[in-house]
A = this chain, B = another copy of it.
Amino acid sequence: MTEVLIINTGGTFNKVYNPINGLLEIDTQGDALRSITSKWHCEIEIIDIIGKDSLDLSNHDRLELLATISQFNFHHIIIVHGTDTMDITAEYLNEGDLKKCIILTGAMVPYSIDPVEATANLCSAYGYMNAMHKEGVYISMNGLVDSYDKIKKDRSKGKFTL
């Protein structure tokens, strides 16, 4: 089996409802990821960094992500990321020329509201990674799993397309 590191950066995937203020807020503890992988009988390492909506990601945040990827000894890395700037981060990481197999994923609806879509996106990424050993940057969203430059978000329709 492939050893996989999951870097959780926040995004809709991780949002939970706060009954005090009525807002959906990012769970920076990453409970959604732990819940999905709790039934898995393989070794997974999960780390939580940044904890932001992807529209709020700064250059400093992307630098932190790059540094985190470099610092860990894993060749296979899944990044849970907000959907709005997933393509920008993917391109940024591609330019970093990291010699790793990296796949970005996320969710259109929080795991706490629709566990199926978030689980499907994450696990399509996870399965892909177990068969893909070539270096590169990929995206996994809503049944689409391919090189990052082939998948785009259509914001007006709220969905990803090839």
Interface residues of A in 114-162 (CB under 8 A from B): 114-117, 119-132, 140, 142-146, 155-162
Interface residues as binary, A5-44 with B (CB distance below 8 Å gives 1, 0 otherwise): 0000000100001011010100000000001110111101
Note all chain B residues with C-beta closer than 8 A to A159. 41
With A22-B12, A120-B123 as contacts: A41 and B143 at CB distance below 8 Å: yes
> What residues of chain A have their CB less than 8 Å away from a CB belonging to chain B?
1, 12, 17, 19-20, 22, 24, 35-37, 39-42, 44, 108-110, 112-117, 119-132, 140, 142-146, 155-162
Question: B112, A42: Cβ atoms under 8 Å?
Answer: no
Q: How far does the Cβ of A76 sit from chain B's closest Cβ, in whole Å?
A: 11
Closest CB pairs A-B (n = 5): A127-B127, A40-B143, A123-B123, A131-B132, A124-B127
Interface hub of A114, A116, A144 (most chain B Cβ within 10 A): A116
- Measured CA separation A114–B42 after assembly (Å): 20
Note all chain B residues with C-beta closer than 8 A to A109. 17, 19
Q: Which of B20, B121, B130 contacts A145 (CB 8 A)?
A: B130
Chain B residue at minimal CB-CB distance from A23: B24
Note all chain B residues with C-beta closer than 8 A to A157. 20
